[in-house]
């Protein structure tokens, strides 16, 4: 989704959660200010909503559960900042359509991001629009996404199968788990 020089990122993710790396590193690389939220505030919807409003943050990332907690606490996006709506990143759990619609209705420029633990935080992403289905989106750079059947063959568009991820952003395997690594990290048949 991109960051601008005048952005401010409010981080509520626990440092042990992999998506916190995005919150810590991306602002640092782009020179964007980052404000950290205490774990106590992150667990309290009313306190988190107040902090988000007071900070005037332009970027915020949360799981769908975190976004729902904010809405249930009465949070509304600050629409008084005309130059940019809140850039909302959602990942770590499936994004329900009703939640996406509620966030978009509040002026959030919402992105759904997908990436299992075995990748470098996220593998795919797409901006969410109310009238369209929510998808994993397009693969991020250096990432390959394929849907395969039980025989390891690619399924046609719209077909059912297992999502496989490859590319430079894929882990090399599980630490000290060679059997699981051999089972789940299979060679790419296309090289």
pLDDT attached to residue 158: 84
pLDDT tens digits, one per residue of 26-62: 999 999 999 999 999 999 999 999 999 999 999 999 9
CATH class of the region 141-191: mainly beta
Residues whose CB falls within 8 Å of the CB of residue 191, separated by 6 or more in sequence, listed in order: none
CA dist 16 and 148 (Å) reads 32
Q: What is the mean pLDDT of residues 84-112?
A: 94
- pLDDT over 90 at 112, yes or no: yes
Can you list the positions of beta strands (E) in the chain? Answer: 9-11, 34-36, 59-62, 87-90, 109-114, 124-127, 138-139, 143-148, 162-167
What residue segments make up the domains of the chain, in order of their start?
A: 9-140, 141-191
Task: Using pLDDT thresholds of 50, 70 and 90, give the confidence band for residue 81.
Answer: low
Q: pLDDT tens, 18-27?
A: 889 899 999 9
Read off the pTM. 0.90
| Distant-in-sequence, close-in-space partners of 176: CB < 8 Å, separation ≥ 6 | none
Residue 127 has pLDDT above 70, yes or no: yes
Closest by Cα among 23, 6, 1 to 14: 23
Question: Rounded to whole angstroms, how far apart are CA atoms 124 and 21?
Answer: 16
How long, in residues, is the chain? 191
Domain over 9-140 is classified CATH 2.40.10.220: no
Q: Is the pLDDT of residue 83 over 90?
A: no
Helix (H, G, I), strand (E, B) or coil at 59: strand
pLDDT at residue 80 tops 70: no
């Amino acid at each position: 989704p991109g960051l601008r020089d005048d952005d401010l990122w409010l981080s509520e993710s626990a440092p042990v959660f992999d998506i916190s790396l995005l919150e810590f590193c991306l602002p640092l690389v782009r020179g964007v200010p980052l404000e950290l939220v205490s774990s106590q505030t992150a667990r309290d919807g009313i306190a988190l909503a107040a902090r988000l409003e007071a900070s005037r943050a332009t970027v915020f990332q949360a799981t769908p559960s975190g976004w729902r907690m904010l809405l249930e606490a009465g949070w509304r996006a600050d629409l008084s900042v005309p130059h940019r709506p809140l850039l909302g990143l959602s990942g770590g759990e499936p994004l329900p359509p009703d939640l996406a619609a509620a966030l978009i209705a509040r002026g959030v420029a919402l992105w759904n991001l997908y990436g299992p633990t075995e990748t470098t935080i996220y593998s795919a992403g797409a901006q969410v629009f109310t009238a369209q289905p929510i998808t994993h989106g397009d693969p991020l750079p250096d990432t390959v996404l394929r849907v395969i059947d039980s025989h390891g063959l690619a399924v046609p568009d719209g077909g059912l199968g297992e999502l496989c991820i490859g590319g430079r952003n894929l882990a090399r395997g599980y630490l000290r788990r060679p059997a699981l690594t051999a089972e789940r990290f299979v060679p790419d048949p296309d090289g």
